[in-house]
Amino acid sequence: MTDTVLPLSANAKTEADIDPTLDLVEAINALRKEKNAVILAHYYQEGEIQDLADFVGDSLDLSRKAAATDADMIVFCGVRFMGEVAKILSPGKIVVIPDAEAGCSLEESCRPEPFAAFRAKHPDHVAVTYINCSADIKALSDVIVTSSNAEVIVNSLPKDKPILFAPDRHLGAFIAKKTGRDMTLWPGSCIIHEQFSEKELVKLKTRNPKALVAAHPECPESVLRHADYIGSTKGILDYVIKTDNQEFIIATEPHIIHQMTKAAPTKTFIPAPFAEGACASCADCPFMAKNTLEKIYLAMLNEGPALQVPEELRTQALKPLERMLELSASVPMGGSSNAQ
């Protein structure tokens, strides 16, 4: 798989070089102005990172918003594939991520050589690929989708064309059920959404009978069958804000609750449970958790870890992204903006 993260320079500063008395938020704000940078934070980041960002949202919407700014630097507080998308859409901008090791279980589950072989076995299929994948996989795909536009895009494809869907099998199964399309699924899954427990969710609903369940379609079908709403992270956020109900069980990475609480402080949001006995923070994405204020500061100071997508790969990966944008033009961008 193509290594899209450039190595840091030999004289790059490390956490050991940070003055312990430094006000990190103040220092980051100073670098934001000095570097003409825009800071993006995914909904699954810690609340203090979300509050620091210029834009908070889902991965693709953040990249599109950053591309529309006049920023020279994009600081993407999320995971590596998100930084790649930002670089693909904004090749002339410096794109940095706080931690080069912030990957994604879905991305790791779908490698280029096995995926190319998967495609070769089904030459008559359209390859529809979830955005949670590497630039290499995007370049091997016909069209990219997100959880918010997958149904629209799949419905727009020729009815006589069978579909390959990768890498999330749960999202693929959900879309196949919604659209009635013939879909062959890659066997990947998100390590967080995979672990929500149907048994414990039923118990939680019994203890909170007024709570509605909002779930991400990366969850297994056994969990989705109990949901009152199924949708993307932004879709879930909009649902709990706009719905009159006052209590909700949230079956996705729980840091989204930070935005829910800010938007609807009088409502109650309960994280969906893992198996009995699981730790309270088990539902936190370990990859998203690699990002910290210290690493954001250093990424801006060092201008790295920086993303570099080779031009041939970038143009190949851009094609299915552009097709997605064309086919989903009617699906509005999501995300919220923080005033600075």
Q: Are 208 and 228 in contact (CB under 8 A)?
A: no
Q: Are 85 and 57 in contact (CB under 8 A)?
A: no
Average confidence (pLDDT) over 182-204: 96
Q: Which residue has the higher pLDDT, 330 or 194?
A: 194
pLDDT for the residue numbered 116:
98
Query: What does the mean pLDDT of the chain come to?
Result: 94
Contacts of 217 (CB under 8 A, 6+ apart): 147, 170, 171, 174, 175, 224, 230, 231, 232
- 130: which 2 tokens? 């979830």
- 332 has pLDDT over 90: no
Q: Which of 63-72, 257-266, 282-291, 322-331 is most confident?
A: 257-266
pLDDT for the residue numbered 329:
76
Q: Are 166 and 187 in contact (CB under 8 A)?
A: no
CA distances from 83 to 4, 99, 146 (A): 9, 11, 16
Average confidence (pLDDT) over 96-123: 97
pLDDT digits (tens, 9 = 90+) for 47-106: 999 999 999 998 778 878 888 889 999 999 999 999 999 999 999 999 999 999 999 999
- 278 has pLDDT over 80: no
Q: Where are the beta strands (DSSP E) in the chain?
A: 37-42, 55-57, 73-77, 94-96, 126-130, 143-145, 163-166, 183-185, 212-215, 229-230, 247-251, 268-271, 336-337
> What's the pTM?
0.93
pLDDT for the residue numbered 339:
37
What is the Cα gyration radius of the chain?
A: 20
Query: Going by DSSP bridges, is the β-strand pair 336-337/55-57 parallel, antiparallel, or unpaired?
Result: antiparallel
- 338: which 2 tokens? 């923080």
